[in-house]
A and B are shown apart, each in its own frame.
Chain A
Amino acid sequence: MRRAALLLRLSLRNVFRNRRRSLFALATIAMGALGLFVFMGFNRGLMNQYRANTIRARWGHGQLYVQGYRDRAHARPWEHWIEDPSAVMARLRRLPGVLDLFPRLTVSAILVAGEHTAAGQGEGIDGAAEAGFFTQLNYRQGGDFRDRADGIVLGEGLARGLGVQPGDQIRLVVQGGEPLPRSAALRVTGIFHTGSQEFDSRTFRIPLGIAQALLATDRVESIAVALAEVEAWPAFAEAARASLPDLEAVPFDELDRIYYRQAVDWLDAQFAFIRGIILLVVFLGIFNVISMAVLERTREIGTLRANGDGRLAIALGHILEAVILAALGAALGLAAGWALSAGPLHDGVAMPPAPGITRSFRIQIELALADALQVMGLAALTAVVGCLLPVWRAVRMPIADALRHV
């Protein structure tokens, strides 16, 4: 115990034996830790915002379909929609974590406004219910149709193509079902944007009742689910599978695989690359400091070994020194990262619109204890790896040679 205490004291004192070099190493490690910590916070903020956008703009936490419906195209899709949706939703509401449910029906239609015509893909929705949850559907003009029976909201690209404003009338012509075609006159209540150019240029939303009337059905295609939190999905999906085996519960990241899942994977890969570069810089800093320190102390190491200290004990002292250096540097970096996020970056980082997105973002730096611990652990690990080679070389040197070293 006393030996461990003295070893710790010796290592602590050795850390500041060459103050200029140690300060340089501390600065290198602190900058690395700061960069890593803030970047992890930025990445966490980006992912969380992206996830919130994805959930609250379009998908909810997931959707329910009839088993097998999504796997293939159907000649008569309405025959594969969810029957008696009110009864199904009543059962779903009793499952754990469910906040709200939103029945939906996809409608492909021709939209006619005066002399302008456009093809669109829309959804029949429960406007009043969805207005409370889908808060990321931002309105450029007007607002949702809520209880208005003949309302329609349009993506801004689609509205621009049709040349309509809130208050204008649109006729929807639907191809599908029997007899054909059917149409309905609707009043524009709002023009929205989700951030996705492609989505906003073809999408509209209408009351579910009108969509069902146009498609001559009392079924719904899907039921979107709002949960208390993202983490509640697996338990909900399991319970849904047990309660309603004819339905398939699909999470939002599976529904939006192309955009969300691939973007997350892409960002993760990018993050891993940047983290690797930062760790390399920290590694080189520690390697340099320990190499120089070990070179300076070669004679000292020889003396310790002549006096009967084993190689392992001497190596442990130097490794401990490197770990202390790394821990101090990482602590400084973490403190600086926290100060940065609480001060200049308190309101987040302004980001330009991403490819395919029409609006800019502010990404909050979301620092987390788990990230801080990971940074600390990585710094310590890097320190251990960085000092192994010089220390191993030094303790392997013949003692008489070490004692002669100048």
Chain B
Amino acid sequence: MSLYEVRAVSYRYSGNGHAVPALADVDLDVHAGEFLAIAGPSGSGKTTLLNLLGLLHAADAGTIRLDGRDVSTLVERERTRLRRERIAFVFQSFNLIPVLTAYENVEYVLLTRPLPSAERRRRTLAALAAVGIVDLAGRRPQRMSGGQQQRVAIARALVRDVGVVLADEPTAALDRTTGRAVMDLLKRLNRDRGIAFVFSTHDPRILAAADRVVHLADGRIAS
């Protein structure tokens, strides 16, 4: 079953009276539990495609269906709700809140849900344990390595039991060994939990871990 159905989607960035095409006529299916890589050089449209899948942008043309529902024309409030319930993000530069501890960064995204505090605590600690940093729960991001911070960001993505995690160059800010460890972690979580992962990269070594690779070039799917 398709998690996402992307049909004839186009998107262009506008500014200063100019419109720059970023994606043109893209068709793509993402299946539940898939570990999908989006590859391509800088400027090929990888981040734009992830933003569209994450409902951060609305497509200029075409349709995107999530769980069979057309999300192309949703208002911002509905998109926010869907992001909260179905989609999580992992960013290249981690994007943790520096004044909160690892535990609080992960717990924060659960606070919009009507969960008892004991259940919230159990889930938060379980997510931190799943990425192997439960012993760093009380530490703030600036006192952690890049790899540890990215693990916190992954725990934050996992804790909500979403359907898909969108990761934009998740290893780009990490050294090769740490990057490999993070990818192994993502792969393991994908296998163990059945969550779909869609990640962008231009690192050929990372692509080897993917179930499927979609190549983008100049805003179009090349293969």
Contacts and interface: CB of A to CB of B under 8 A. Distances in A.
Interface residues of B, number: 29
Interface residues of A, number: 24
Interface string A365-406: 000000000000000000000000000000000111001000
Contacts, number: 63
A307 B97 contact: no
Contact of A307 (B51, B83, B93, B117): B83
Given A2-B117, A17-B99, A309 B112 contact: yes
A307 B83 CA distance: 6
A70 interface: no
A308 B100 contact: no
Interface of B: 47, 51, 54, 56-57, 77, 80-81, 83-85, 88-89, 91, 93, 95, 97-100, 104, 107-109, 111-112, 117, 120, 156
Contacts of A304: 97
Interface of A: 2-3, 6, 9-10, 13-14, 17, 299-300, 302-310, 313, 398-400, 403
Given A2-B111, A399-B56, A400-B56, A306 B89 contact: yes
B56 A306 contact: yes
A403 B80 contact: no
Contact of A306 (B83, B107, B108): B83
Contacts of B97: 10, 300, 303-304
Given A307-B89, A308-B84, A6 B98 contact: no
Most chain B CB inside 10 Å of its own CB: which residue of A3, A17, A306, A309: A306
Could you tell me the dominant secondary structure of chain A's interface residues?
A: helix
B23 to A, nearest CB: 13
B196 to A, nearest CB: 17
B10 to A, nearest CB: 16
B99 A308 contact: no
Closest A-B pairs by Cβ, 6 of them: A308-B84, A13-B99, A3-B111, A303-B95, A399-B56, A308-B83
Given A9-B104, A307-B88, 16 more contacts: A2-B117, A2-B120, A13-B99, A299-B93, A300-B97, A306-B83, A306-B89, A307-B83, A307-B84, A307-B89, A307-B156, A308-B109, A309-B84, A399-B51, A400-B56, A403-B56
A300 B93 CA distance: 11
Given A10-B100, A303-B91, A305-B80, A400 B51 contact: yes
24 contacts: A3-B111, A3-B112, A6-B104, A6-B107, A6-B108, A6-B111, A10-B97, A10-B99, A17-B99, A302-B95, A303-B91, A304-B97, A306-B89, A307-B83, A307-B89, A307-B109, A308-B85, A308-B109, A309-B80, A313-B112, A398-B57, A400-B47, A400-B51, A403-B91
